[in-house]
Structure 1
Amino acid sequence: MSRSRRIAPRIRALIAAVAAIAAVSLISSCADHPLAPSSDQTSIADSLGIYVVVSYYPDSIKNPPLPPDTNSVGSRGISATVVASPSVGAFSEAAAPSYTVSPIAFAPEAAATVNKGVNCEDCVMFNVPLGFNFKFFGNTYSKINISSNGIVGFGSDMSDGCCAGAVIPLNDGSSRNNLIAVAWTDLAPSSGIKYETRGTIPNRRWVLQYNANESANVGGVSMQLILYEGSNDIVMYTTSLYAAGRTHLLTQGIEDATGTEAYFVSGRVHSAFRLTNDGVKFSPPVTNYAPVVTPPPNISVTTAPPSVGGDTRIALTLHLTGACAATVNPGVPTVIDDADGVTTTGARNDGLPLDAAYPKGVTTITWTATDAGGLTTTATQTVTVTDGESPSVTAPSNISARTDVGALTATVVVGEATAADNCPNVTISTSRSDNLPLSATFSIGVTTIQWIATDASGNTNSANQKITVVGNAPPVVT
């Protein structure tokens, strides 16, 4: 090999190093750039802390020579991990995936029109407010940086917007990490980048409209990025996307702050591709929280009274009894969950159906809510049924008797009273008006026996029986 051939690679490396140094050092305010922001953008920067930095890059850095295979996705390649479908890929050094990637229907919102983004080449607008907190790869941000070359990102990890779509993930020590590549290539945005915050708490959205030509004026991009509050979903709607092949490759996907984890659709990293009416969503894992179940209020009722054709007065006149239970509608619980698909069941501790009559006493209903992920929560409700119905009692018939022979009192068999109640365990007691035991003889005159029926709940009822005793005089013979 000749000496000149051995020196040539060193010269090329030295030129590249000098060019890189030039790219880093040639950073100015956007006002120095021939495509500086308009005056209304400058006023926005003054009031909100937004500022724009322009970087000047030699064409050797912006569009470096590429190997023959321009459709490759870089040295790391696309992981075999299929996240949502065979067309979706990811590369991750994390133990568990931070995002799932799924194709969605093309359904963009109305284009953002409120705020203007960068309109200069190879520049970044910093500290653009989102209007809400957004979590990206586990970190929370309220501001975002917008590059003119089809990428947005968070914090100082994305402070360089150059240029053609790079490989992701790429941990090369650059300031092009922690990013969302919507259409990463060398673009000339002119005034086609606009953004705004829409919606109300807690469902606000940050919408970025990206319309730009490729710097070579061959291809271009028209797309919309939406960041969602709460769910932290990232949605990209691409109306059209095309770059001019070998020197202007494209990247579309997301990358973390360390350059070790990235998610993308296969074939959309550092490669030449076209998109038309395309939709893709990047969703962080959703923590499944157990549902919150609030039972209906506890219920206290009395047993159902007797009735005949719905008339309780007739039933009481006929000494009918009701049930030792009550018909109760327990209601339904209120369930709150972080996702749809919650089922709710109720179980009584007596094993009977919820719509069966509830017996006297306390019945506990356990309400169980189960979400789609299998997490369950229980809450209890009590139904207390008290017996408010008095028993019915029928005294024996009244009795008239004469005194025993040679005595001033009469021995009388008074009989037995009968009692009925809606609940079991009714007892009968007696009380004589002369305060003597029931088995004692009865004196001449009228003695009243009060028959008292008492049920297990302490409800009472009574009925009277009269014992009339007259003297037993000898017959008179005339």
Structure 2
Amino acid sequence: MPTPDGTVRVQVHPIEVIYTAAQKDSIAAAGAADAGSLSRMVPIEPVMNVVGAPASAAASATVCGGGAGAFVGYTKSHLESFAPEAAPSVAPYPVPDDGWIRDSEVPLGFSFNFQGQTYDKVNVSSNGLLLFGAIPATGGDGYPSAGFIASVLNPNNIIALAWTDWQPNMVADPLRWETRGTAPNRKFIIQFNNVPEYNSGNRLGAISPLAGRLTAQVVLSEGSNDITIYTNEMSTNPRGLHTVTQGIENTAGTVANYDSVFNSVLNIQQARVKIMFILQNEAVRFSQISTRDAENPTITAPGDVTAGNDPGLASAVVVTGSPAANDNCVEVTVTSTRSDGKAIDAPYPIGVTTITLTATDAAGNSASASQTVTVVDIDPPVWDPTVSSVRQANATSPTGANVTLDNLVVKDNVAVTSVSCVPESGSFFPVGNSDALCTASDAAGKSSSKLFMVIVVNAHDQIGALIERVEGLNLPDGTAEPIVNQLLTAYDQTADGSSACKKVSDFMTMVQKKNSNILSGDVTYLLSEGSRILSVMGCPPAPTSVRPTVRGTTP
């Protein structure tokens, strides 16, 4: 046990009863007689030694309703590692022989739960006892004779670190305590330091060699409410009359917890209750039985769901079903979280959404399961109704023209990924009517096709269209008539290549001659049309020099 250091001496006002030596021996003899059987008093030689009593298994009990439940008792464990705390620093004086240091002078420094009740102070008996609550009226002498536990006789509600007749007033610095650490993990440590057993031969400064000794600590732990007794040395005179009790007892005196020692003479394991034994470098801990519900609930997710999108939308309203959750306690709460962060009843987007379902009970235990919702895009792309299915282009050669299929407007609930045509847009189409099939596709592989009629206009029809254009220009009669007459002749003679070629060339020459009465933009257009028609008919190109116009330009 660590040696006291950094002493802080505190004067206390103990309760003390003074006995004569004869009275003390009488009390001890009466205590021995109370043992009830010689097995508690023998062997006289040798005394019993601790051989390592088996540790108790951790006990637990489920209490529903959240957190720790009602107090149900203690479990005991025999610690293999002997690691007492450093010596406490508070040294009370005077320390009585038979009596108490009252709890008003021994604060724990924190709230400590003992036997289901909460305390913040403790009474200390000079005879190896800690008592919570009021000292019994009959206990002014600090109970110098070890008693049985459990027993309804006083004292009750005690921690007996080594209950017998000790004589702390015979040595300097026999008792210390201290609260150390920080919340919520503080410890209260009380230490009996080299305290001699009562012996009629003891004198201050001259202890009888027959007297036993006690150096031991009790450590009370905040939060866990563990009680740990470290015994560096505990012995009594084997030929004396002082039995020892070590353990804890409840308020009613009906339940006690204690370790045991092996009696090598009787070849039995005996409880450390009102018997003779010695201890050395030994530790025992009493821990409250866990009453927290530590069992996780169970949860089963509904089956995965696959659904098509709602018409025209990139999502679907899906009924996901309800999970099945159970717990050893009745109360269990289920929460649902979507991987996209949206509300559970919000529409689900095309693709895979994972729902994490978590069941949590009142004690905070939880379990999770997952469900997937897959929304499949079942809508093909839709061709815009404004897209004309007839495409017309003027031939640019005697056999046809390259035609671009543009303005292909297609809509999709998600996105159109491609539009392709057969023949491809920009391909060569022959004069006359041809078909082109265009197909739009989306990311889901859905597709929709539209059939187009591609009309490549021949030279004859191009001349007819050009006549209508000239007539629509509202040119003066002296300008329009000679120009239109050339085109009319070419229109009628289209089948006769050379004649038609000459008349189209004459049309272009006439446009150049009359350009003073024609807007320059119209002149350029008319000459361009005539040049293309010549190419379609396979004619040689016509002269394109144009005299400057004096009429102006088209807006």
Same fold (TM over 0.5): yes
Q: Which residue of 1 aligns with 2:175?
A: 193
User: In structure 2, how many angstroms separate the alpha carbons of the residues matched to 1:199 and 1:137?
Assistant: 23
Q: Which residue of 1 aligns with 2:306?
A: none
Q: Deviations over 1:436-465 (max 9, x none)?
A: xx65675859xxxxxxxxxxxxxxxxxxxx
Output aligned runs, 1:442-457, within 5 Å: 442=455
Q: Which residue of 2 aligns with 1:205?
A: 187
- SS of the counterpart of 1:134? strand
For residues 60 and 359 of structure 1, do their structure 2 counterparts lie closer, same or farther at Cα, with a shift above 3 Å needed? farther
Instruction: Indicate the larger mover: 192-201 or 359-368.
Output: 359-368
Q: Which residue of 2 aligns with 1:248?
A: 242
User: In structure 2, how many angstroms separate the alpha carbons of the residues matched to 1:265 and 1:368?
Assistant: 42
Instruction: Select which of 59, 70, 74 maps to 1:99.
Output: 74
For residues 264 and 118 of structure 1, do their structure 2 counterparts lie closer, same or farther at Cα, with a shift above 3 Å needed? farther
For residues 253 and 122 of structure 1, do their structure 2 counterparts lie closer, same or farther at Cα, with a shift above 3 Å needed? same
Q: Any conservation in 2 of the 1:115–1:194 contact (CA below 8 Å)?
A: yes
Superposition RMSD on alpha carbons, in Å? Answer: 4.3
Q: Any conservation in 2 of the 1:399–1:414 contact (CA below 8 Å)?
A: no
Q: Deviations over 1:389-433 (max 9, x none)?
A: 7623334333555665xxxxxx33112335363xx1534476xxx
Q: Which residue of 2 aligns with 1:113?
A: 89
Cα deviation, residue 112, structure 1: 1.1
Q: Deviations over 1:57-101 (max 9, x none)?
A: 54266323434955528xxxxxxxxxx965879xxxxx9961111
Q: Which residue of 2 aligns with 1:363?
A: 354
User: In structure 2, how many angstroms separate the alpha carbons of the residues matched to 1:262 and 1:393?
Assistant: 87
For residues 117 and 287 of structure 1, do their structure 2 counterparts lie closer, same or farther at Cα, with a shift above 3 Å needed? farther
For residues 376 and 85 of structure 1, do their structure 2 counterparts lie closer, same or farther at Cα, with a shift above 3 Å needed? farther
Q: Which residue of 2 aligns with 1:137?
A: 115
For residues 87 and 229 of structure 1, do their structure 2 counterparts lie closer, same or farther at Cα, with a shift above 3 Å needed? closer
Q: Which residue of 2 aligns with 1:221?
A: 214
Instruction: Select which of 14, 21, 31 maps to 1:52.
Output: 14
Cα deviation, residue 122, structure 1: 0.9
Q: Which residue of 2 aligns with 1:457?
A: none
Q: Which amino acid aligns with 1:180?
A: I
Q: Any conservation in 2 of the 1:145–1:153 contact (CA below 8 Å)?
A: yes
User: In structure 1, how many angstroms separate the alpha carbons of the residues matched to 2:117 and 2:437?
Assistant: 90
Q: Which residue of 2 aligns with 1:392?
A: 418
Q: Which of structures 1 and 2 has the bigger CA Rg?
A: 2
For residues 444 and 378 of structure 1, do their structure 2 counterparts lie closer, same or farther at Cα, with a shift above 3 Å needed? farther
User: In structure 1, how many angstroms separate the alpha carbons of the residues matched to 2:93 and 2:434?
Assistant: 112
Q: Which residue of 2 aligns with 1:124?
A: 100
Q: Deviations over 1:278-298 (max 9, x none)?
A: 1111111113344899xxxxx
Q: Which residue of 2 aligns with 1:275?
A: 279
- SS of the counterpart of 1:243? coil
Q: Which residue of 2 aligns with 1:342?
A: none
User: In structure 2, how many angstroms separate the alpha carbons of the residues matched to 1:186 and 1:85?
Assistant: 25
Q: Any conservation in 1 of the 2:98–2:126 contact (CA below 8 Å)?
A: yes
- SS of the counterpart of 2:134? helix
User: In structure 2, how many angstroms separate the alpha carbons of the residues matched to 1:361 and 1:226?
Assistant: 58
For residues 154 and 426 of structure 1, do their structure 2 counterparts lie closer, same or farther at Cα, with a shift above 3 Å needed? same
User: In structure 2, how many angstroms separate the alpha carbons of the residues matched to 1:366 and 1:162?
Assistant: 61
Q: Which residue of 2 aligns with 1:181?
A: 160
Output aligned runs, 1:412-427, within 5 Å: 412-417=434-439, 419=441, 421=443, 424-427=444-447
Matched, 1:164 2:164: no
For residues 254 and 226 of structure 1, do their structure 2 counterparts lie closer, same or farther at Cα, with a shift above 3 Å needed? same
For residues 106 and 402 of structure 1, do their structure 2 counterparts lie closer, same or farther at Cα, with a shift above 3 Å needed? closer
Q: Which amino acid aligns with 2:437?
A: G
Matched, 1:262 2:237: no
For residues 113 and 477 of structure 1, do their structure 2 counterparts lie closer, same or farther at Cα, with a shift above 3 Å needed? closer
User: In structure 2, how many angstroms separate the alpha carbons of the residues matched to 1:259 and 1:234?
Assistant: 18
Q: Which amino acid aligns with 1:398?
A: G
User: In structure 1, how many angstroms separate the alpha carbons of the residues matched to 2:285 and 2:350?
Assistant: 55
Cα deviation, residue 367, structure 1: 6.6
TM-score, normalising length: structure 2: 0.49
Cα deviation, residue 55, structure 1: 2.5
Q: Which residue of 2 aligns with 1:321?
A: none
Higher helix share: 2
User: In structure 2, how many angstroms separate the alpha carbons of the residues matched to 1:96 and 1:139?
Assistant: 9
Q: Deviations over 1:312-338 (max 9, x none)?
A: xxxxxxxxxxxxxxxxxxxxxxxxxxx
User: In structure 2, how many angstroms separate the alpha carbons of the residues matched to 1:385 and 1:123?
Assistant: 79
Query: Any unmatched runs of 5+ in structure 1?
Result: 1-38, 46-50, 74-83, 90-94, 294-347, 350-357, 405-410, 431-437, 446-468
TM-score, normalising length: structure 1: 0.56
Q: Identity of counterpart residues, as a percentage?
A: 30
Matched, 1:72 2:40: yes
Q: Which amino acid aligns with 1:213?
A: P
User: In structure 1, how many angstroms separate the alpha carbons of the residues matched to 2:111 and 2:231?
Assistant: 25
For residues 425 and 201 of structure 1, do their structure 2 counterparts lie closer, same or farther at Cα, with a shift above 3 Å needed? same
- SS of the counterpart of 1:222? strand
User: In structure 2, how many angstroms separate the alpha carbons of the residues matched to 1:130 and 1:261?
Assistant: 24
Q: Any conservation in 1 of the 2:14–2:94 contact (CA below 8 Å)?
A: yes
Q: Which residue of 1 aligns with 2:366?
A: 377
Cα deviation, residue 192, structure 1: 1.1
Q: Which amino acid aligns with 1:257?
A: T
